[in-house]
Structure 1
Amino acid sequence: MSKQAPSTASDPMVFSLIMWGEDSAAEGAILLKSILMYTSGPVDIHVICNEVAQVYLEKRLALVKRPRYQVLIRFYKPTWQDMLDRIEREGTIHTTHAAGTPGLMKLFIHEILPPSVKKAVFVDTDAYFISDPYLLWDHFLHTLPSSTVISMPTHPEMFAEQWFDANKICSCIMLLDLEGLRRLRLMDSSFYRSVTPPLPVYSLPAFRALFGPPSSQTGKYEEIALGDQSFWWAIIKYMNSEHETQKGMFEHLHYDWEVSSCLADMYITNMLPGQDDATEEDELKVQLHTWATPHQGEVIRPKLVHFNCLPGPRYYEWPGWDSAKDENTAGTEGLARRWGVSIKYHLGYKWLWLNRGPGHVAGPAESKNQGSKIIIETVSNLKFADQLFGEQSTKTHNH
């Protein structure tokens, strides 16, 4: 079991998010809002983004003067060229996935955030919490084995040969031991190859084991349809292989944290009025997509919902939300009835209402202007960890 000391009320939960462009920020704003709505403690949120996304988010964050708990928002702003250069230094990864270059940055979070950030929860922007995220953080710190460096949901019943079976996981939510990933030296770099002897890199044998050798023409893995998730799957499969000596580096994450419109019809769970007294037997009668999974016969209790299979740049603008189909219908036909009320609530909840800290209502003078606040920081001129390594190696060589 994890040997980390128990967290206290002053220990922040840590997120790392990626938002590139206004559409991504518009979705991510609902995720941020849900974190502040439900958290039972302080949070540090590290956002990898561009200027457009930062401006969109800061406009809303400025409305919250007195959050219930202390909040740190730190924006990391690599340029597009910075990201392209890091991918090129790695040398083999390539994607045709819609998430594109920013999506591949999920593989480099441990290199973008400083070493002082040791663990983080990653969540896609098209998701939001409906429960206290500290439940997830507590699981991360105190339930997972100390050897675990990655945890995400797995679906062993899924298969897709054309995707190298990468749909057996969902990188939409990940618990990342960033310190552990740095220790593994997860991703390759020309800087690591330039020293003598070249530094060992964890992903190299993992990618080759699943994909075979990269293209002889380009040197890249060209047919990787699921983007970062394909590469994560290669890493996870390698961790779980019989050839891997260190077991326990990967752990499955409960489906409660991955109630998805894409992979599993959200298990046909719902937030319909009039069903708040549903029993476990009632839920199991209609629940889908848990057979032959780690949670067969178990009721899924949603804590994070993910709308990842809806058309349009912003999931909450999907025209289907205005439909009214039977709630027990699989696929998107029943989605509007089952989850439309939740979408409307979290979309409509005002940022102003997050002013719930001391002084948020008229009271004794000593209570005013005290309490928690949102601290915003920006990291520009960003350098990846491999660049810092290269600079240090050059200095050492020159001396």
Structure 2
Amino acid sequence: MPSMSEVPLMASGGPSLSASPYDLPGGRSEYRSSPWSHRWSRPLIFVALFILNNLAWSYFYTSESTLLVPRSQPQTQQQDVVPVVHSNSSRITPKLDHHSVLAPRLETIEIVMVMIGAESATEGVTSIKSAIMHSSRPLSFRLICSEDAMPIIEHKFGLFSRPAYSVDVVYYPMSLDAIQARADRAGVGTKYFAGMGGLVKVFLHELLPDVNRAIFVDTDMVFVVDPVLLWNTFSTLKPDQMLAFPTLGPKSDASLICTCVMLLNLSLMRDHKRPFMSSTLLPSWSKNGVSGQAFEKALSGDGLIQNPGRTTLIKFNPKDPLFGDQGIYHVIWTHFPELFAHLSLRWDITYCRSGYGLKLGHWRDEQDEDMSETDQIKSQIHTEEAPEKHDQLLPGILHFNCQNRPIVWDSNENHVENTWSPMITMITRYKWIWLNRGDGSASVRSTVVQNVRFEDERAAEEERQSRLASEEGGVGRREKARLDKLDKL
């Protein structure tokens, strides 16, 4: 239907097809054409509003990460970052996707892993591949690793260059001696088989000063769904909750929680007013550190804790906690439960507890494939007093622990016909070059952080610099007062 400006005005002496509310006696019209009523005006307004809307979306998507930084936390000193140049000559320069210039920028999912040693890296790259295969968002992998692990990992990332969504890889090379020194400053240690490579998991927040929150996963785990589903769980955490991991209820002993997968509010754990891990480098951290306060409570009185799988009690020893880092997390969780959230068991479908009874449907068994939700809940096992005890579990991450093998994907039992073997075989044998799913607008970027330091080292250096500046200022003020006094004489 034409607009008012497009309806021809009839001459005063001729017949009128329709009466206009703007017509006055004598054939005159009070209608005045508005500059916004032309044919091109409405499309122009629509385009302008579309651009403003997308700019607003882009701002809110990209500014989210800054909202989690505590005001009390001082600015952290940036560590040296060096880009990795791939030797793969087949890499293609990313193209600019002109169709997505105004599209909202998707939030990047941060995933942290620890890979100390060549075997850990060989196992862990399968976990990385599974995340990329299923992801609908850009991914950033923060890898705490040893020097010998880096070439193994980087070789895999050199096999593809056109992912559907951008992939960033940041290496944080660490020595076992550096981890041991930080553990000593926190008053912790380990005799668990995972060694310092496992214990470093209690210090992840200190090694990633520019990351506000992240998912942590162990190397013997694989995603079977989109990682964004786990990432979205951050929205359920309360503002003062530092992390979330799976448990079998509030009475779980150290064997019934799992630090294999965690949601980490890294910025909150780094808060200098209440750091997650204590340190002898700073008196305030020794006094206010969450770990130190939890250890003090645990050791008060008899200091006894439950011995997993037995009715007996044993003495808690922070230098030799049960299950390494998991024992430390458990003691802190026991005494400060308000700082933790429960993470659904779906993110730890563990081999240790028979996957809680979950398994793929049997081939040519329609009754098994068409199982009802009620029947699955009845078949679930080992959920103890976990919140999901009476809810359907949906597999999100498969965990192949309790197999006593250096690289679980090499185990025949995970590939022969059993509960999850088709999924494992598909992920392990899926070619890395098949991750070239994009049009070239997304890329793979690798960087190495040099001179990696822990947060307590940076905080101690900041305190020292502040003290020196204050002392120098005091000397300057005294000298100025002396000169002013001489001027008056």
Q: TM-score, normalised by structure 1?
A: 0.82
- Establish whether residue 136 from structure 1 lines up as the match of residue 230 from structure 2: yes
* C-alpha distance in structure 1 between counterparts of 2:421 and 2:150, whole Å: 28
Contact 1:128-1:305 within 8 A present in 2 as well: yes
- Establish whether residue 261 from structure 1 lines up as the match of residue 351 from structure 2: yes
Question: What is the deviation of 1:320?
Answer: 3.0
- Report the equivalent of 1:367: none
- Establish whether residue 227 from structure 1 lines up as the match of residue 320 from structure 2: no
- Report the equivalent of 2:335: 238
Q: Spell out, residue by residue over 1:189-222, the C-alpha distance to the aligned partner (whole angstroms, 9 max, x if none).
A: 12113x7x9652111111222345999xxx9634
Does the residue aligned with 1:296 lie in a helix, a strand or coil?
helix
Contact 1:158-1:167 within 8 A present in 2 as well: no
- Establish whether residue 37 from structure 1 lines up as the match of residue 130 from structure 2: no
Contact 1:154-1:169 within 8 A present in 2 as well: yes
Q: Which of the two has higher C-alpha Rg?
A: 2
- Report the equivalent of 2:214: 120
Q: For 1:172, give the aligned amino acid.
A: C
* C-alpha distance in structure 2 between counterparts of 1:211 and 1:58, whole Å: 44
* C-alpha distance in structure 2 between counterparts of 1:33 and 1:152, whole Å: 22
Q: Spell out, residue by residue over 1:65-110, the C-alpha distance to the aligned partner (whole angstroms, 9 max, x if none).
A: 10000111100012222111111222x2111111110111111111
Question: What is the deviation of 1:146?
Answer: 2.4
Q: For 2:212, give the aligned amino acid.
A: K
Question: What is the deviation of 1:179?
Answer: 0.6
- Report the equivalent of 1:303: 396
Question: What is the deviation of 1:229?
Answer: 0.6
Identity %: 30
* C-alpha distance in structure 2 between counterparts of 1:157 and 1:56, whole Å: 40
* C-alpha distance in structure 1 between counterparts of 2:336 and 2:227, whole Å: 27
Question: What is the deviation of 1:157?
Answer: 7.9
* C-alpha distance in structure 2 between counterparts of 1:15 and 1:155, whole Å: 24
Contact 1:155-1:167 within 8 A present in 2 as well: no
* C-alpha distance in structure 1 between counterparts of 2:430 and 2:415, whole Å: 19
Question: What is the deviation of 1:22?
Answer: 1.4
* C-alpha distance in structure 2 between counterparts of 1:212 and 1:343, whole Å: 46
Map of 1:157-196 to 2, 5 A cutoff?
Answer: 165-183=253-271, 184-193=274-283
- Report the equivalent of 1:47: 143
Contact 1:187-1:202 within 8 A present in 2 as well: yes
Contact 2:280-2:286 within 8 A present in 1 as well: no
Cα 1:9–1:303 shift into 2, 3 Å: farther
Does the residue aligned with 1:29 lie in a helix, a strand or coil?
helix
Q: For 2:164, give the aligned amino acid.
A: R
- Report the equivalent of 2:206: 111
- Establish whether residue 293 from structure 1 lines up as the match of residue 389 from structure 2: no
Map of 1:310-349 to 2, 5 A cutoff?
Answer: 310-321=403-414, 337-349=418-430
Contact 1:192-1:386 within 8 A present in 2 as well: yes
* C-alpha distance in structure 2 between counterparts of 1:280 and 1:122, whole Å: 30
* C-alpha distance in structure 2 between counterparts of 1:287 and 1:109, whole Å: 33
Cα 1:11–1:152 shift into 2, 3 Å: same
- Report the equivalent of 2:458: 388
Question: What is the deviation of 1:147?
Answer: 2.4
Question: What is the deviation of 1:151?
Answer: 0.7
Q: For 1:320, give the aligned amino acid.
A: E
Does the residue aligned with 2:154 lie in a helix, a strand or coil?
helix
Question: What is the deviation of 1:233?
Answer: 0.9
- Report the equivalent of 1:373: 443
Q: Spell out, residue by residue over 1:230-257, the C-alpha distance to the aligned partner (whole angstroms, 9 max, x if none).
A: 11111111222xxxxxx4x311011111
Task: Give 5+ residue unaligned stretches, structure 2.
Answer: 1-59, 65-103, 304-315, 470-489
Contact 2:286-2:292 within 8 A present in 1 as well: no
Cα 1:198–1:124 shift into 2, 3 Å: closer
- The CA RMSD over aligned residues, in Å, is 2.3
Does the residue aligned with 2:129 lie in a helix, a strand or coil?
helix
Question: What is the deviation of 1:396?
Answer: 2.7
- Report the equivalent of 1:326: none
- Report the equivalent of 2:48: none
Cα 1:214–1:205 shift into 2, 3 Å: farther
* C-alpha distance in structure 2 between counterparts of 1:254 and 1:372, whole Å: 32
Does the residue aligned with 2:445 lie in a helix, a strand or coil?
strand
- Establish whether residue 252 from structure 1 lines up as the match of residue 342 from structure 2: yes
Contact 1:149-1:180 within 8 A present in 2 as well: yes
- What is the aligned counterpart of 2:437 among 353, 356, 359? 356
Task: Give 5+ residue unaligned stretches, structure 1.
Answer: 160-164, 241-246, 324-335, 359-369
* C-alpha distance in structure 2 between counterparts of 1:158 and 1:396, whole Å: 45
* C-alpha distance in structure 1 between counterparts of 2:217 and 2:301, whole Å: 31
* C-alpha distance in structure 2 between counterparts of 1:213 and 1:347, whole Å: 50
Contact 1:214-1:221 within 8 A present in 2 as well: no
- Establish whether residue 284 from structure 1 lines up as the match of residue 373 from structure 2: no
- Establish whether residue 70 from structure 1 lines up as the match of residue 140 from structure 2: no
Count of matched residue pairs: 351
* C-alpha distance in structure 2 between counterparts of 1:119 and 1:371, whole Å: 26
- What is the aligned counterpart of 2:156 among 51, 60, 69? 60
Cα 1:40–1:191 shift into 2, 3 Å: same
Does the residue aligned with 1:166 lie in a helix, a strand or coil?
coil
* C-alpha distance in structure 1 between counterparts of 2:415 and 2:130, whole Å: 23
* C-alpha distance in structure 2 between counterparts of 1:318 and 1:71, whole Å: 29
Q: For 2:341, give the aligned amino acid.
A: E
* C-alpha distance in structure 1 between counterparts of 2:164 and 2:106, whole Å: 13
* C-alpha distance in structure 1 between counterparts of 2:293 and 2:355, whole Å: 35
Question: What is the deviation of 1:268?
Answer: 1.8
- Report the equivalent of 2:294: 206
- Establish whether residue 99 from structure 1 lines up as the match of residue 169 from structure 2: no
